[in-house]
Structure 1
Amino acid sequence: MVRLQTDQLHIGYGDKLIVKDLTLQIPDGEITSIIGSNGCGKSTLLKGMARIIPHQSGIVVLDGVSISKQDTKSLAKKLAILPQTPESAAGLTVGELVSYGRFPHQSGLGRLTKDDVEIIQWAMSVTGTFPFQYTPVDALSGGQRQRVWIAMALAQETDIIFLDEPTTYLDMAHQLEVLELLQKLNEEQQRTIVMVLHDLNQAARFSNHLIAMKDGRIVQSGTAEKVIQKHILQEVFQIDAEIGRDPRTNKPMCITYNLLKGDNQNVEKNASIPALAGSYA
């Protein structure tokens, strides 16, 4: 089943076209990760599909209707997006921030109803942030803050959640914590998760569906087995990768890689990466 898709989508900034003639389908109820080198259009695509930025031509369709024809509140009840570096007002508590997720469902004076409060408390409980409800968001660790933002998205009660590099600036343990939470939300609540990731091995491990991009276009999409392949990584990242298997998930993983010769020939030739750390190409 597909609820969200694009057709011949073009997105740019001014005269510069970033996403070019892009047609894709997002599998419903699965985790999709978008991978690619810096500047390839990953974040732009995510923002375009969420109507954060306008598209120049083409169409984004959600539930059979163009998102450009859906009013803001209706769209916000279906789709939530967490930017790469979300910021909250200084001194805002965890409970206050999570309560903002109820905005699309409020009317009149915007006061929280009993149902709103129950949903907010549930979102904090699911994400393990309930003990921090009266704590200022600024006082939390990076991993805790990410869980609070995810709680806000859950309080929004959308079936689809977009996340732009949710593990950026987090250490390995907190990265795993956030990704396991997203996996749990997907498996237990059938949330459709779409995220931009830089770590190839994390993308392969936690995703049902991958989209590999280069220069605003899709090079390959599908399962990890279909996308994490030597020739695909060569085209997308300009690396000569050695592909193995994750001993815990049996999914493909990038064990090590060399930079391809050419423009990068003055850079150190060999770049090995620990299996657990993943690839940050």
Structure 2
Amino acid sequence: MTRLFTENVNVGYGDKTIVKDLHVEIPDQQITTIIGSNGCGKSTLLKAMTRIHSHQSGSIILDGESITQQNTKELARKLAILPQNPEGASGLTVGELVSYGRFPYQKGFGRLTKRDMEVIEWALDVTGTTEFKYQAVDSLSGGQRQRVWIAMSLAQETDMIFLDEPTTYLDMAHQLEVLELLQKLNQEEGRTIVMVLHDLNQAARFADYIVAMKDGEIVKAGSPEDVIQRDVLRDVFSIDADIGRDPRTDKPMCVTYNLWKGEQQNEEDSNHTASYASACS
């Protein structure tokens, strides 16, 4: 049984509909990545599924019940979201920020219990941020801050974690650091991870399931092998890509690509193939 899915969901801003009649299922205890060009509705879908942004029509179902009918604190115990540009950490230490993840469990005056403290320490430990506990969040590097925000999400003790472009503005080493951490959480903790990514090869390498979107609709959803295909990438991104295999993971990867030029591209490809065959004969 799929815990989270949408049925004929429409989401927009004002009179403009961004996500259109969309049906998507999120596989449990797997890593799902959502890919697509800028403005296609990736982040809007993520926000709708986590109730940050209301949907106009259709249904978003979690555990057999519409998310609009679920108590806010109860929902926050099931899913956590890390937005693209998290704010609100100015002046806080790492430990203080991570403690905010315990809000759904607090009662009365919101004092931290022994259990809260244990979970906070665990979240710091699993993300490798314990050494920063008493440092100001503002003093950390981009990769370190991102791990701290993930630690706060983990402190919510949710089965599902949503992340909107978690590798944005990070260098290659820190991108890999964050993605490997999420993969570890999925494999060792059984967390369901849903994230928006721009890098196709990162999406293919770390995802079990990929959702490719264009103009608010799903073009293709399935395994990396199903989605990282030349025709799919041509439709979604208007690129003509050469697809190979990652020598380390054996996952599909985009080796190189050009802008798609329609029928002109077909003619150029045919001429290139004929020239290559003639040279080899």
| TM category, shorter | over 0.9
> Are 2:131 and 1:131 aligned?
yes
| Counterparts of 1:79 and 1:69, CA distance in 2 | 15
Counterparts of 1:1-281 in structure 2, within 5 Å, are 1-261=1-261
| Counterparts of 1:175 and 1:106, CA distance in 2 | 33
Moved over 3 A (4+): none
| Counterparts of 2:43 and 2:90, CA distance in 1 | 26
How far 1:88 moved relative to its partner?
2.5
What is the SS of the residue equivalent to 2:121? Answer: helix
How far 1:172 moved relative to its partner?
0.1
| Counterparts of 1:64 and 1:84, CA distance in 2 | 28
* Structure 2 unaligned residues grouped into runs of 5+: 266-281
Q: Deviations over 1:223-281 (max 9, x none)?
A: 0000000000000000000000000000000000010127xx9xxxxxxxxxxxxxxxx
What is the SS of the residue equivalent to 2:38? Answer: coil
Q: What letter corresponds to residue 111 of structure 1 in structure 2?
A: R
Q: Deviations over 1:153-173 (max 9, x none)?
A: 000000000000000000000
What is the SS of the residue equivalent to 1:75? Answer: helix
Give the aligned length.
263
How far 1:199 moved relative to its partner?
0.2
Q: Deviations over 1:55-101 (max 9, x none)?
A: 00001000000000001000000000000000123220000000000
| Counterparts of 2:160 and 2:210, CA distance in 1 | 16
How far 1:120 moved relative to its partner?
0.2
Q: Which has the larger radius of gyration?
A: 2
Higher helix share: 2
| Counterparts of 1:89 and 1:134, CA distance in 2 | 13
Larger mean CA deviation between 6-15 and 85-94 belongs to: 85-94
Q: Deviations over 1:90-132 (max 9, x none)?
A: 2200000000000000001100000100000000000000000
| Counterparts of 1:193 and 1:166, CA distance in 2 | 12
Q: What letter corresponds to residue 186 of structure 2 in structure 1?
A: N
TM-score w.r.t. length of structure 2: 0.93
| Counterparts of 2:260 and 2:225, CA distance in 1 | 22
| Counterparts of 1:198 and 1:252, CA distance in 2 | 16
What is the SS of the residue equivalent to 1:104? Answer: helix
| Counterparts of 1:133 and 1:173, CA distance in 2 | 22
Q: What letter corresponds to residue 231 of structure 1 in structure 2?
A: D
What is the SS of the residue equivalent to 1:231? Answer: helix
| Counterparts of 1:243 and 1:261, CA distance in 2 | 18
How far 1:14 moved relative to its partner?
0.3
| Counterparts of 2:93 and 2:180, CA distance in 1 | 24
TM-score w.r.t. length of structure 1: 0.93
What is the SS of the residue equivalent to 1:2? Answer: coil
Q: What letter corresponds to residue 62 of structure 1 in structure 2?
A: L
Q: What letter corresponds to residue 259 of structure 2 in structure 1?
A: L
Identity fraction in percent: 73
Partner in structure 2 of residue 273 of structure 1: none
Larger mean CA deviation between 207-216 and 253-262 belongs to: 253-262
What is the SS of the residue equivalent to 2:3? Answer: strand
